[in-house]
Amino acid sequence: MDITELENEQLEDKNIQSSITPQILKDDNTGEDEETKEIVVLETEETKPQVTKNAFPPQGRLNKCITNGTLLVVIWFAISSISSPDHYPDKNSFQLLFVFCCSVIGGKLLEVIRIPSVPPLPPLFGMLLAGFAIRNTPYISERIHVSKEWSSTLRNIALTLILIKAGLGLDLQALKRLTTVCIRLSMGPCLMEAFSTAVISHFLLNFPWQWGFLLGFVVGAVSPAVVVPSMLQLQEDGYGVEKGIPTLLMAASSVDDILAITGFSIFMSMVFSTGGILHDLLNSFRDVILGVLLGTFWGICLRYFPSEDQTNITMKRAGLILGSCVTAVLVSNSIGTHGAGGLFTIMLTFIGGAHWTTDRSEVQKIITFAWDIFKPLLFALVGLEVSVEALKSDAIGISIACMSLALLVRISATFFLVTFAGFNFKEKIFIALSWIPKATVQAVLGPLALETARISSPHLEPYAKDVMTIAFLAILITAPNGALLINILGPRLLARCSPNETKQELS
């Protein structure tokens, strides 16, 4: 019995200890959890951004009131600058809807219809052909008449969207790191083609020098709508990544377009000015200074309005940019300061967007969505301006000869500008040939001179029609051929990296 009682007591002691041990462990874990929670709370409080209350820029409700009020005013001015008693959308709604649908269908058909062993063509080529077909089909052309005022307004809005995309796409840090070859590639070919076009058109087409330089900057811009998608595909496949050729061409394309649009705006002010050469130069200089100063001031303001503590900040920033830039471009064209609106847009988006760290890509998505809507209308309206009956066979031949000679100068200049940049002969050939596609800027700037001549200077309309014809032919010839050359020659002339290196470069 004594032995049995002793064993029972030992069992009871073990049970007591076993019941006490989890409680002790639980208490210890509870203490550790509480300490962990305290540490997390302290770290959260330390890492939580401290909102400093400064007099400027204003924060909170005052900033929100200023932002919302400015947004309403900007939208009102944009709508007022678009609509007028002379052209309300109800007169041309069906025509615009029909043109838009045909343009979208043309772009989709070009994506669906694929020729074996031939790279895909850009959809904008199908949009251009859709407008050209509407204008030159007998039954349809008699019933589709888009108002000239609305056509001009829509193209100006498309120009504004292009400038906004270019301004937001410029990165200050990337521009600081740009090598000499990228600067040469973004400016040299455009300037060389513009000067050569001015000289050739002066002797072949009997253009005045001012019109020659205006035409030169119209055809001197490369098209990011063709170059960038093709370069992204080559970069994804690993071609030219080791030497950064796709990145180089994509970075230089935006600066190339900005330079062409700026030069076009300056010479357009000179062409439609009524004063002498000195007076034209002073007016052009005035437009440049006015656009840069106003764009810089408004860009600095958009750094602080709306403030970071507001909701829907991305939509507000996109609305302020679109409303301000559309108003600036349309108003500047209406009062005769053609270059001020474009420079205002570039400076506003570049300076304002450089300060946005998190929402910049979201604003770019909204602008891209707006551009996707206006792009079919833009290229279709360009095709609508070209009539086969109005074209003369000798004029077409001379225009193609003028454009081809200037394009040869551009290709040669591009080849020599990248000669001492570490590229081999095949890579230099590829860069020179891939720098020829033209589409977006030509679709906007070509008809702009024609619309301005019809309104303010009818006696200059023949020159403007020639500019429009050459811009159309440039898109028709270089856009599909340039895309084909890039997609065909890229795998044959560029070295290919391993998949791991390609993924690292893409990241």
pLDDT at position 497: 77
Is the per-residue pLDDT at 22 higher than 50?
Answer: no
pLDDT at position 181: 82
Summarised one tens digit per residue, pLDDT across range 348-402 is 988 888 777 667 888 888 998 898 888 888 888 888 888 777 676 677 888 899 9
pLDDT at position 25: 41
Please answer whether residues 254 and 224 qualify as being in contact, where contact means their C-beta atoms are separated by less than 8 angstroms. yes
> Lowest-confidence range among 156-170, 220-234, 268-282, 469-483?
268-282
pLDDT at position 504: 45
Q: Return the structure tokens found at 157.
A: 């809005």
Determine the 3-state secondary structure of 74 from DSSP: helix
Q: What is the DSSP letter of 403?
A: H
Please answer whether residues 471 and 445 qualify as being in contact, where contact means their C-beta atoms are separated by less than 8 angstroms. yes
The rounded mean pLDDT for the chain is 79
- In this prediction, residues 153-165 reach a mean pLDDT of 85
Q: What does the alpha-carbon distance between residue 485 and residue 492 come to, in Å, rounded to a whole number?
A: 11
pLDDT at position 431: 92
Name the phi and psi angles at 210, rounded to 5: -65, -40
Residue 498 pLDDT level (bands cut at 50, 70, 90):
low
- In this prediction, residues 454-472 reach a mean pLDDT of 87
Residue 211 pLDDT level (bands cut at 50, 70, 90):
very high
The verdict on domain 144-506 having CATH code 1.20.1530 is: yes
Chain-centroid distance of CA 444 in Å reads 13
**pTM, 2 dp:** 0.70
- In this prediction, residues 397-419 reach a mean pLDDT of 92
Is the per-residue pLDDT at 258 higher than 70?
Answer: yes
Summarised one tens digit per residue, pLDDT across range 32-84 is 454 444 444 444 444 444 444 566 677 777 787 788 778 767 776 776 566 55
Please answer whether residues 135 and 387 qualify as being in contact, where contact means their C-beta atoms are separated by less than 8 angstroms. yes
The residue among 221, 226, 190 whose CA lies nearest residue 484 is 226
Q: What does the alpha-carbon distance between residue 406 and residue 238 come to, in Å, rounded to a whole number?
A: 32
The position carrying tokens 């513009």 is 194
Give the orientation angle of helix 440-456 with respect to helix 245-271, to 10 degrees.
Answer: 0
Residue 87 pLDDT level (bands cut at 50, 70, 90):
very low
Is the per-residue pLDDT at 436 higher than 80?
Answer: yes
Higher pLDDT, 360 or 239: 239
Higher pLDDT, 51 or 488: 488
Q: Return the structure tokens found at 414.
A: 């591009």
Residue 214 pLDDT level (bands cut at 50, 70, 90):
very high
> Lowest-confidence range among 241-250, 267-276, 412-421?
267-276
Q: What does the alpha-carbon distance between residue 134 and residue 470 come to, in Å, rounded to a whole number?
A: 20
Higher pLDDT, 261 or 148: 261
Which residues lie across from 357 on neighbouring strands?
Answer: none
Higher pLDDT, 206 or 120: 206
Higher pLDDT, 76 or 135: 135
pLDDT at position 410: 94
CB neighbour class for 153 (10 Å; exposed up to 12, middle 13-18, buried from 19): buried
Higher pLDDT, 415 or 307: 415
